[in-house]
Amino acid sequence: MAVASSSAMENIVTVSQQKQFTATVLGLPRVGPRRELKRATEAYWAGTIDAQALHTAARELRRTQLAELRAAGLDSIPVGTFSYYDQMLDTAVLLGALPPRVADIADPLDRYFAAARGTETVEPLEMTKWFDTNYHYLVPEIGPDTTFSLHPEKPLDELQEAVELGAPARPVVIGPLTFLKLAKSADGSALTRLPELVALYRELLRRLANAGAEWVQIDEPILVTDLTAAEMDLVHSAYTELSAGGDRPAILVATYFGHPDAALAAVADTEIEGIALDFTSGTDPSALAHVPVLANKLVVAGVVDGRNVWRTDLDLAVSTLGELSRVAAHVAVSSSCSLLHVPYTLTAEARLDEQLRSWLAFGAEKVAEVNVLARGLRAGPESIDTALAAARAALAARRSDPRLHDPQVRAKVAALKPEAFRRAPAEQRRELQRERLQLPTLPTTTIGSYPQTSAIRLARAARRTGQIDEAEYIARMRAEIANTVALQEELGLDVLVHGEPERNDMVQYFAEQLEGFAATEQGWVQSYGTRCVRPPILFGDVTRRQPMTVEWIDYAQSLTDKPVKGMLTGPVTILAWSFVRDDQPLGESARQVALAIRDETVDLQSTGIRIIQVDEPALRELLPLRAVDRPAYLDWSVQSFRLATSGVSDATQIHTHLCYSEFGDVIDSIAGLDADVTSIEAARSHMEVLDDLNAAGFDLGVGPGVYDIHSPRVPSVEEVTASLREALKAVSAERLWVNPDCGLKTRSRTEVEPALRNMVAAAASVR
Ligand code: GLN
Ligand code: ZN
């Protein structure tokens, strides 16, 4: 792809005519600083407010946010990253690509939510992780009967709203390549539809230009994944066509979560005006000198990490910006990705310890960093001396804090021998466990959590505000546990759980009890739809002060003769759903967490617990986006799980639970975990995963989820029976477990009871 120098010259003219900007971010959070959108949306679902009220609440949030960003000094502001549920779903709407099964729902908002969440009669779209983040997008379905058509109302309305407020608005849309590559099509041929989409995007660009947009941001994070040469050609031809001619805003193609490598030349050797690059994930700015096409582009430099919470090393950022100024026509400062992935602001945190606070930057603080850096870019680094000095001092204080270097933990990790990562051979364990547990064939169980009732939430809130004391809180949680155990006994389940009432969240719960983690009060981040999480911050070395779960599990076990599963979260998931240290390799942090979990498994075993589940739903999610980086990740992640679970005796049965993913890429590693039983979300991918497991030689216990807990639908006995029979084609009866595909905490008791009853009945009939 040689650079045509004549077109480069023309481009220089075009770019200099564009209104340039220097300070921006790539996208914005939308749930509201106090989760206002979550509350309004759920009220709409519950029927307590109408669509008008929901729209008003959303508009209010957008307006306030725009005003704040303007006041903060950004000279280009992304608009259209707002969403009632998810940006991929919004893109499907934009392109007329909702599945036919929702087509006859007349009300557009209800149709939208039906595609997102399903209804009594309609299956929702599948949901999966957005690249290697903990955000979930809805997977568009492209079939032969999908006829694309443009529905640009949402981007146009939000643009107009911003223009009316006088904001320097830059509409953001997900690009056609990313949309199609992430979509699901029966024959895997979605990319053949690219020309149709390019035509629609051209029309969209025209409409946006008419509505006053000077720039448009087209997100193509797919460019940081491995693309084939043919796909690279498609990138080039799509952007050649999109950028040809006028009648459009200037185009900024945004990449993030990694570096586009060869795809950079493919997309940049076109008439697009700008490219956004992520400099927080290992991209070396000096490598860009070899991309001559940048000489006539705006490079939007993601030097402020948009997905972690650490204060930016401003010196490093200034030097990156300096290097870029030598290769690009213009440089703007930005977050590395949308601020969707970090909490709104540090100022909402009253209880963070002051040292830790000085090392952090949340959304608002990142915007301030962008502005400072942009000022330095315009007026020279001397003009931001004070800010540079403050950042330098904070970083130095962080590096020398003793909490980051606990000699005892370090010594323990250094002394680990290979035996610490191994158990006896699986067959040997299987015999011991069979004798000890005496389970029927096709044992039935659940994944851990039961519905989070309002009694639970009330008790938690009352404890937080001091309305009830610890003793009362414990009494109430015990009552919940007793209820849940009684329910499971009544339903006839074989392996019981305590129901996790005491856990607000499966990661936060452990982080709160481990040294080295800090919790936030308002650090909410959208996980999917209206679900938000408050990821803990891992800032130091990890140690377990005392047992974390033993009393609860022990209590549950005291109520029944059936085995109760101890319930822990694995090291990979604890890291994946936390903001992690950036001062040491992740594998190092994982070993420290694994040691803490290992101590817990040993304590559970000592009180008589016979089965322990260590959940690793995030195993797939942290998989690096590039194939070259995967073996190293899979090695440390599998080893950390094994370290966490190899401290118990061979007669103790280790379970693990994995969910939400395409497992193809990690299938060998699932076997490598060497868990006696693995429960897996498979209801939505129709047991395909079992075939994959077989192909990988996996021969341990497996519980492919027999029904989908993410939907309110109650599965019938026949459905579950059919599901089990299908599974039995791939797995022998001795290895098959019967369970839902994930925890039940988001469901109501009235949904859970009949569903489990049907599941138990189906297991009995298949037996
Ligand atoms: N044990 C957890 C639960 O049941 C597992 C949740 C998950 O897989 N995300 O809620
Ligand atoms: Zn799950």
CA of 615 to the centre of ligand 1 (A): 7
Q: Is the pLDDT of residue 291 over 90?
A: no
**Mean pLDDT, to the nearest integer, of 217-245?**
97
pLDDT of residue 147: 94
Instruction: Confirm or reject: Cβ of 141 under 6 Å from ligand 1.
Output: no
Domain interval for residue 542: 407-415+442-766
710 flagged as catalytic: yes
Backbone angles phi, psi at 186, to 5 degrees: -50, -40
Spatial distance between the Cα atoms of 549 and 565, rounded to a whole number of angstroms: 11
pLDDT tens digit string along 318-359? 999 999 999 999 999 999 999 999 999 999 999 999 999 999
> Is there an atom of ligand 1 within 6 Å of 621 CB?
no
pLDDT at res. 284:
83
pLDDT tens column, 390-413? 999 999 999 999 999 999 999 999
Dihedral Cα 577, 583, 586, 590, nearest 10 deg: -80
pLDDT, residue 686, reads 58
pLDDT of residue 282: 78
Whole-number Cα distances in Å, 33 to 349, 522, 523, 550:
12, 8, 9, 36
Predicted pLDDT of residue 80: 96
Q: Looking at the domain assignment, is residue 595 inside a domain?
A: yes
Q: Looking at ligand 1, which residue's alpha carbon is closest to its atom 10?
A: 743
pLDDT at 717: 97
**What is the pLDDT averaged over residues 240-256?**
95
> Which tens digit of pLDDT belongs to each residue from 111-126?
999 999 999 889 999 9
Does residue 155 sit within a domain? no
Query: Residues 485, 496: contact at Cβ < 8 Å?
Result: yes
HEC profile of 343-409: CCCHHHCCCCCHHHHHCECCHHHHHHHHHHHHHHHHHCHHHHHHHHHHHHHHHHHHHCCHHHCCHHH
What's the mean pLDDT when you consider all of the chain?
94
Q: According to the model, what pLDDT value does residue 661 have?
A: 63
Q: What span, in angstroms and rounded, lies between the C-alpha atoms of 471 and 203?
A: 64
Domain membership flag for residue 189: no
Handedness of CA 600, 606, 607, 608 (dihedral sign): positive
Q: Residue 289 — very low, low, confident or very high, per pLDDT cuts 50/70/90?
A: confident
Residue 364 lies in a domain: no
Interatomic CA distance for residues 207 and 247, integer angstroms: 9
Contact predicate 140/88, CB 8 Å: yes
pLDDT value at 477 more than 80: yes
The mean pLDDT of 28-47, rounded to a whole number, is 97
End-to-end CA separation in angstroms for the chain: 63
For 14-37, what is the mean pLDDT? 87
Supply 520's token pair.
Answer: 């936030």
The share of the chain scoring above pLDDT 90, in percent, equals: 86
Q: Sorting pLDDT into bands at 50, 70 and 90, what band is 662?
A: low
Lookup: tokens for 701: 């216990």
Closest-CA residue, ligand 1 atom 6, reads: 743
Q: Tens of pLDDT along 680-695?
A: 886 445 567 788 888 8
Q: Kindly report the protein residue whose alpha carbon is nearest to atom 4 of ligand 1.
A: 743
**Is the pLDDT at 293 greater than 90, yes or no?**
no
CATH number, domain at 754? 3.20.20.210
Mean pLDDT of 584-592: 97
* Mean pLDDT (whole number) for 673-682: 91
pLDDT of residue 8: 39
Q: At what angle do helices 314-327 and 385-399 cross, to 10 degrees?
A: 130
Position with higher pLDDT, 6 vs 311: 311
Residue 4's pLDDT band (cuts 50, 70, 90): very low
Ion ligand 2, residues whose Cβ is below 5 A away: 617, 659, 742
Taking the centre of ligand 2 as the mean of its atom positions, its distance from the CA of residue 442, in whole angstroms, is 20
Quick check: helix, strand or coil at residue 702? Answer: strand
Q: Is the pLDDT of residue 186 over 90?
A: no
pLDDT of 141: 96
In this structure, what are the phi and psi dihedrals at residue 333, rounded to the nearest 5 degrees?
-95, 140
Contact of 222 with 183, CB cutoff 8 Å = no
Provide the percentage of residues in the chain whose pLDDT is more than 70.
96
Q: For residue 456, what pLDDT band results from cuts at 50, 70 and 90?
A: very high
Q: Is residue 67 part of a domain?
A: no
Say what the pLDDT of residue 9 is.
Answer: 41
Render pLDDT for 521-530 as a digit per residue (tens, 0 to 9).
999 999 999 9
- Report CA(551)–ligand 2 centroid distance (Å): 24
- Of 19, 21, 29, residue with least CA distance to 76: 21
For 185-240, the three-class secondary structure string (H helix, E strand, C coil) is: ECCCCHHHHHHHHHHHHHHHHHHHHHCCCCEEEEECHHHHCCCCHHHHHHHHHHHH
pLDDT at residue 663, as a whole number: 67
Q: Phi and psi at residue 517, in whole multiples of 5°?
A: -110, 150
**Number of independent structural domains in the chain:** 1
Structural domain contains residue 537: yes
421 falls within a domain: no
* Residue 43 included in any domain: no
Q: Ligand 1: does its nearest atom lie under 6 Å from the Cβ of 745?
A: yes
Instruction: Point out the catalytic residue in the list 236, 498, 657, 710.
Output: 710
pTM of the model: 0.92
pLDDT at 665 over 80: no
Dist. CA 85 → ligand 2 center (Å): 20
